[in-house]
Chains A and B, each alone.
Chain A
Amino acid sequence: MELYAFHLMPYPNIDPEVREKYSSAWVVYPNSEYDPELGQHLYSEYLDQLAFADQIGFDAVVVNEHHQNAYGLMPSPNIMASALISRTQNAKIAILGNGIALRDNPLRVAEEVAMLDVMSGGRVLSGFVRGIGAEYHSMGLDPTRSRSRFFEAHDLIIKAWTEPGPFEWDGDNFQFRYVNVWPRPLQQPHPPIFVPSQGSSETLQWAAQHRYPLACTFVPMERLKQFYDRYRQYASEDFGYEAGPEQFGFTSLVYVHPDGEEAAAAEMEPHIKYFKERAFTLPLPTFFPPGYTAAESYKTRIEIARELANSGGPTLTAGEPLIGTPEQVGERLERNLAACGAGTLMAQFQVGDMPHGKVMRSMELFANEVMPYLSRDKVIS
């Protein structure tokens, strides 16, 4: 079992009327609402939380990339990864991930991740993402090119890391007369790659083909099982191997409280509400702009949007809620992993406007009263 500490680094003071006044906490939510002095404290606290995860024995700390929004304040995940190198000793630094389709020059990602890998002594996990639809609005990028750019950027970066330069790259989206990335990554042949998935067959098959672990964020358990089953099926039927639990990870909110589930849930409720009603204020055309997916996937997305509207927003929990006493959290955590055959839990301790002290108390309890009892070496299947 692997435990990662996942963080979004959200902005905690989003206007309570963000939906009515701005319709979105993304792309068009005015940056005059951002207070840089508060921002400095936030970065400091959030980095402390991830540094603490390293101290208490988490296998990795997770950063990610989102642009022009109050949901997550990491437009450059590589800057965060860099800040974490000196604050952590043992944990891997999982960049989940670089939005490689968003870059005019994907070689910049090859360079930066290689730098991070060398600087960290080979502690980088390199996630690659397309970027959600909102990023295409923010970056002025035609979403109909997203898939093509993602796959080509991936091929280019992997080749830049694994084949001697200089070589020429002449692709549909990117052209370089000289590809010759200095430095090269420390891990050979390159840092491990992770990809997320929203369940499209193309992505699942591609990930299975490359044996890239799926790291899914905010996907409910029923869908996780479907995604993982299809991945396992592609692996065994198309690519001739059995995909193990180490190839599957997912996020779940964790909150540990000595007084039990009811008290824990009551304390988390306002922060979950904040996440759903403010930070995740993301209209469908911003989330899924025209051309971001195939028409069939858009129909599925309409179904999901309708389900979410009925259930009050996206779920932060996959499977049984990891909100409760240490014993409850520990047992459920193992059951959740077993339920879908995943090996990695990406635990999210901070959500929405949850204050630092509350996060740290929960993490301490997790460290002292949950982690010692987890069967960390057990392969869950």
Chain B
Amino acid sequence: MSEIFSVDLPSQSARVQHGGEGPPLLLLHSEANTSAWSEFHECLAADFEVFAPIHPGFGGEETPDWLVDMSDLAFHYKDLLGSLELDRPLVVGTSLGAWIASDLAIHFSSLIKGMVLFGPIGLRSAEPLPDLFIMQLPEVLSYLANSLDGGQVDPMTGDAELATAVWTDLATQARLMWKRNYDPRLRGRAHHADCPVMVAAGDHDRLTPLSYTEAYAELFDASLTTIAGAGHLVPLDDPVAAAALVNSFYLTLEK
């Protein structure tokens, strides 16, 4: 079980889902209406005090004017860590959330203990990644996870509210990655992320090929683990295995 509270930050008010006890963990969610407290959160909350904020412009919120690029979110989350007085939390991010985590670590790695990135994006790829913004919404979900029900978000035949929720999340994602679904500066800046990093990907990932995730891991000098049967959003497809991976990674970190 979790509570949700709000924190006023210089950028805007942040909504934070919170639950569990243990060392602090900042969980940065993925795209397309996948921010809600889930089985993955529950698993993590068994061992960590989980702070799972909803990104600005996600969870039904319109895209805020102040949000221009990914670095705005790094500063937003730096302010959140300060405001919550979190002492070097473990940062866990999935897909878009992993990109935000990478940017946070590049700018402020001294504030975090380490990070786990599931299906990270944000790197330039030799082959273009599929364009989520031109796809029908059910197809978007099929690229993201095996466990999501695309039919539900079909605007023509599904639930119009749910379709709109996915669409408005994609809108803010469009602000961040319509023109480029990567940050050309990431490669040159990755070495500033001076903390231990683990990268994990599903072996049924339809969005990013394994070679892409390997390159990401190499760039951040991270270990790479693949999870059998999972798609791009590993924590949705296999929450138990994903949480176990986070746990085992945490145990390897220096105290």
Binds B, one of A31-39, A209-217, A291-299, A368-376: A291-299
Contacts A144-B174, A284-B136, A285-B134 known; A290 to B160 CB distance under 8 Å?
A: no
Given A291-B175, A294-B62 in contact, is the A299-B136 Cβ separation under 8 Å? no
Contact among A145, A291, A298 with B164 in the assembled complex (CB-CB below 8 Å): A298
Among A67-75, A89-97, A135-143, the one that faces the other chain is A135-143
Indicate whether A289 reaches chain B with its CB closer than 8 angstroms. yes
**A285-B137, A290-B173 given; A295·B178 CB < 8 A:** no
Structural contact, B174 and A143, CB atoms closer than 8 A: yes
* Cross-chain contact B170 with A290 (CB below 8 angstroms): yes
* Among candidates A28, A142, A305, A309, residue contacting B174 with C-beta atoms closer than 8 Å: A142
* CB <8 Å contact, B60 and A295: yes
Instruction: Indicate if the CB atoms of B62 and A142 lie closer than 8 Å.
Output: no
Which of these, B62, B134, B172, contacts A137 with CB under 8 Å? Answer: B134
CB-CB < 8 A to A295: which residues of B? 60, 62, 164, 167-168, 171
- Mark contacts of A301-326 with chain B using CB atoms, 8 A cut-off: 1 yes-contact digit, 0 otherwise: 01101100100000000000000000
Cα-based distance from A286 to B60 in the complex (angstroms) = 21
Take A137-B134, A295-B60, A309-B156 as given contacts and tell me if A290 and B179 are in contact as well, using a CB distance cutoff of 8 Å: no
CA of A85 to CA of B133, assembled, Å: 40
Q: Do the beta carbons of B155 and A140 come within 8 Å of each other?
A: no
Tell me, yes or no, whether A260 is within 8 Å of chain B by CB.
no
A285 & B175 in contact (Cβ 8 Å cutoff):
no
Are A289 and B133 in touch, CB under 8 angstroms? Answer: yes
The minimal Cβ–Cβ distance linking A18 to chain B, given in whole angstroms, is 16
* Residue of B whose beta carbon sits closest to that of A137: B134
Q: Given A145-B175, A290-B133, A294-B62, 5 more contacts at CB 8 Å? A: A140-B178, A142-B174, A148-B65, A289-B133, A290-B174
Task: State the B residues within 8 Å of A (CB).
Answer: 60, 62-63, 65, 133-137, 155-156, 160-161, 163-164, 167-168, 170-175, 178-179
- Interface residues of A, Cβ cutoff 8 Å to B: 27-28, 136-137, 140-145, 148, 283-286, 289-291, 294-295, 298-299, 302-303, 305-306, 309
B residues less than 8 Å from A294 (CB atoms): 62
Question: Which partner residue on chain A sits nearest B132 by CB separation?
Answer: A290
Contact sample, A vs B, 26 pairs, CB 8 Å cutoff: A137-B133, A137-B134, A140-B178, A141-B178, A142-B174, A143-B171, A144-B63, A144-B174, A285-B135, A286-B134, A289-B134, A289-B174, A290-B167, A290-B168, A290-B171, A291-B170, A291-B171, A291-B175, A291-B178, A295-B60, A295-B171, A302-B155, A302-B156, A305-B156, A306-B155, A306-B156
Q: Bound state CA distance, A50 and B179, in angstroms?
A: 38
Q: Do residues B163 and A302 form an inter-chain contact, with CB atoms below 8 A?
A: yes
Residues on A with C-beta less than 8 A from B155 are 284, 302, 305-306
A143, A144, A148, A294: residue with the most chain B Cβ atoms closer than 10 Å = A144
* Chain A neighbourhood of B161, CB < 8 A: 299
Can you name the residue of chain B whose Cβ is closest to the Cβ of A28?
B134
Tell me the smallest distance from the CB of A43 to a CB of chain B, in Å.
29
With A143-B178, A302-B155, A305-B156 as contacts: A291 and B134 at CB distance below 8 Å: no
Secondary structure of the B contact surface, majority rule: helix
Are B179 and A140 touching (Cβ within 8 A)? yes
Contact B136 A302 (CB under 8 A): no
Among A28, A142, A306, the residue within 8 A (CB) of B175 is A142
Cα separation A284 to B136 with both chains bound (whole Å): 7
Count chain B CB atoms within 10 A of each CB in A27, A28, A285, A298 and give the residue with the most: A285
- Chain A proximity of B224: nearest CB distance (Å): 31
Pick the 4 closest A-B CB pairs, nearest first: A291-B171, A290-B170, A142-B178, A290-B171
- Give complex CA distance A306, B171 in Å: 22
Residues on the B chain within 8 Å of A27, using CB: 134
How many angstroms from the CA of A299 to the CA of B160 in the assembled complex? 7
Q: Is the CB of B171 within 8 A of A144?
A: yes
Interface centre among B134, B163, B164 (most CB of A within 10 A): B134
Provide the bound-state CA to CA distance between A260 and B135, in Å. 45
Q: How far is the CA of A289 from the CA of B167 in the complex (A)?
A: 8
B133 to chain A, nearest CB (A): 5
Shortest distance from the beta carbon of B58 to any chain A beta carbon, whole Å: 12
CB distance from B151 to the nearest CB of A (A): 15
Q: How far is the CA of A306 from the CA of B156 in the complex (A)?
A: 6
- The reply to whether A283 and B136 form a contact with Cβ atoms under 8 Å apart is yes
A141 CA / B155 CA spacing, docked (Å): 24
Q: Which residues of A contact B179 (CB under 8 A)?
A: 140-142
Residues of chain B contacted by A140 (CB below 8 angstroms)? 178-179
Q: Are B156 and A299 in contact (CB-based, < 8 A)?
A: no
A28 → B minimal CB distance (Å) = 8
Closest-by-CB residue of A relative to B180 is A140
Q: Distance in Å from the Cβ of A126 to the closest Cβ of chain B?
A: 28
Q: Closest B-chain residue to A303, C-beta based?
A: B160
Give bound CA distance, A285 to B138, whole Å.
11
Closest Cβ of chain B to A299, distance in Å, is: 5
Q: Which residues of A contact B156 (CB under 8 A)?
A: 284, 302, 305-306, 309
A294 to B164, CA, bound (A): 10
A186 to chain B, nearest CB (A): 38
Q: How far is the CB of B183 from chain A (nearest CB, A)?
A: 15
On chain A, the residues within 8 Å of B62 by CB distance are 294-295
Determine if B60 and A291 form an interchain contact, defined as CB atoms under 8 angstroms apart: no
- Contact, CB under 8 Å: A291 / B174: yes
Q: How far is the CA of A302 from the CA of B62 in the complex (A)?
A: 18
- Say how far A117's CB is from chain B's closest CB, in angstroms: 33
CA distance A285 to B175 in the complex (A): 16
**Contacts A27-B134, A289-B134, A290-B133 given: A144-B175 contact, CB under 8 Å?**
yes
Give complex CA distance A303, B161 in Å: 11
Report the minimum CB–CB distance from B181 to chain A (whole Å).
12
Assembly CA distance A12 to B57 (angstroms): 42
List of B residues within 8 angstroms of A291 by Cβ: 63, 170-172, 174-175, 178
